[in-house]
Structure 1
Amino acid sequence: MINQTQKPLTFTVNLTPKAHQLAEHFCNNHSNLQKSEQVYFNTLAIYAVNHYLQCLGFANDWKASNSYDVIMQSFLDVADLEVIDYGKLECRVVLPNAEFVYIPQEVWVGRIGYIAVQIDESLQAATLLGFTSRVAKEQLPLNQLRTLEEFPQYLQQVTPLINLNEWFEDILQQGWQNLESLLNTGTVGNLNPSFKDASYLQTEEIIKAVKWIELGNQSVLMLIALKSEEDEQISVRLRIYPDSEQNCLPENIKLSILSDSGEILKEVTSRNIDNFIQLPSFRCSSQESFKIQLYLDNIYFTESFFL
């Protein structure tokens, strides 16, 4: 948290004519005055954060963000910026003399963090006040922000978020492979025999993806299966298999589902006789997120997901 006895580090960006031209370009697409003003201020905030990240040496792709899409602007109060190799950062406007930053519930998931950006009354400067890694309420007091001094190190340690909705569109993130394509590559003979029983999942109308994970000198295969349910929820099933050289998993691998705050929701531990371990299937709704964690001999692997 920001130390109240010491002025926190901030970063001020001049809002150039180019920034206002871009903001005007976007807001002119919206006839509703309130929406037009919202888009204008959001664009200025994103411009400032984009400049700040470039100064830190991080590459961004604003055009890949929802905030750059006029249709998404119409339906959402969104101010996201895609940080390449990390994920989406939300840039939230703070008006002069405000004591809190407003973060709408629709952006509480799918973000690697939130930066508060105060726009001055003349609209000539934007000051980055601080950041938070997660939110659970729409009005976050500014004195609860973390200082920008911590931000570069925080961002470097962020685990990119995986959007499971993209899996239903046949889009898999780096490191993940479609189960069917893996079984059809001709390398199935090199896979562990216990993994081959995963082929029965092909008969079900679900999405399956696998990923090789290194835990020190041990290698395992993670399988995730997704299925759409009638209540618009998604059923998730997780399994861990040994690599091709081992008949059984190493003993004491812990497979856990974590909440955003790091709380263990479900966990299972391998024995030296297990040829795979799995967690009971669970359901997720839209706008929910969770983390998967593997642990062995003081080595952690964590992956973050959202719908």
Structure 2
Amino acid sequence: MSVDQSNTMSTPSQPDPAQMPQPGEIWEVSPRLRSPIPLSREEQQRLYAEPAYRFLQGGSARYVMIVTAPKSELDEADEPWQAASVMVLSVETQFLSDVDILIPRRFSGLGQDLLAETWHVQEMLICNLLRAVGYRLSRLIYDGLMTVGDYAHGVVEAPPPDLDLLGLHAGTTSAQNDPTIQRFHDHEVAWSDVLTVPVAAQRSQQKRLQLTHALLNEAIHLERELASDRVPIALSQWLQKTVKAGLPSLLAGWKAEMAGLAMLYGAEPIATRSLPVDPLPSGNSDAIQALVDLIQTAQDDETLWSAVESLWNVAPDHTAAGVRHVKLVDLGMQIAGQAIALAVAIVQKANGQVGVLLQVYPTRPEAFLPPNLTLLLLDESGRSLREIVARQADICLQLKLSGEPGEEFSVRVTLGEASITEHFVI
């Protein structure tokens, strides 16, 4: 049996209130994106548009102007993923249009002119802002830029003020009438994947956590602890999707996930071209086939499970997606009544082995795992093969392993002197 040494996942540190972005400030965008749903380099290349991917691989610096300060009504646990509205800026100043406004360098403080894309306002996670640069724009300039964008989108009827009086410069050509400027706009929309994808991931994660919480609450009355010496649960029967005699009793307390429910903390494909904040639409045959092909040819567990988790989002009933079951773990007063879930997912691997993914996570979306909660993988003799201990602010513990049909293993979750053990046979 082989075990993957996966790390725990935790949220970024809480932002310093003194460093919170303020409207009118110019910030550099970080090329090292942070997201509640991490994406591997391969997933970035597949899911991001080419301009966005080039930026993430070390492209030129990019800047944004803060439009609205981060929302302050979020719960404390959500603060690291706060979002702010920003206006995209560009150093490519030759594409001057009636909605791309030239900001002279004496206003930006960057040593170069900037092009303010007043038509291009997006939300982004503030943890992906690298640092404040240059000067904070004056209220008059900020209001002027916002009025141009609002007028272009039909939000206000009154035309913007004379920008020349503010020291700004606007073109007279509409992007619709100039193919060169329209191509520039298309490029900028594609680049803004770096802003919209992490926001979409954060919203998708919130929806999944809420759905899972409701699902586990529904299953809580079925939860019964089984004796430690019970017959192991046969994972191969999950893959065969046939329930043989005696299997219902072995699965007491376990519940299959609802169709369409994605992996809580795994990577998730996000469609960004037409619907930048929604998950990849279900039924996309090309995307599904690409994921199936990747599952059938993957040589490493990271690639395999990233593809499986993505397939769960778009085609949860596909035979290549494997099977996943969830069980509540009751460790009594050790966790102050907080429910913990143990999830076991399996998938058939290309080499004939069975891949197994083990996860432990809190059932409340805003919660963290209790510090020192331990997830152990044991062989059939009870010897520990791998152990992971929750730290402060960990939201998930996970292990990946592979085994041959007939191999036995156990999973133990402990906190202090309390523990629960589940036995499996592949």
TM-score class normalised by the smaller sequence: 0.3 to 0.5
Structure 1 length normalisation: TM-score? 0.42
Structure 2 length normalisation: TM-score? 0.31
Higher RCO (Cα < 8 Å, 6 or more apart): 2
Name the one with the larger strand percent. Answer: 1
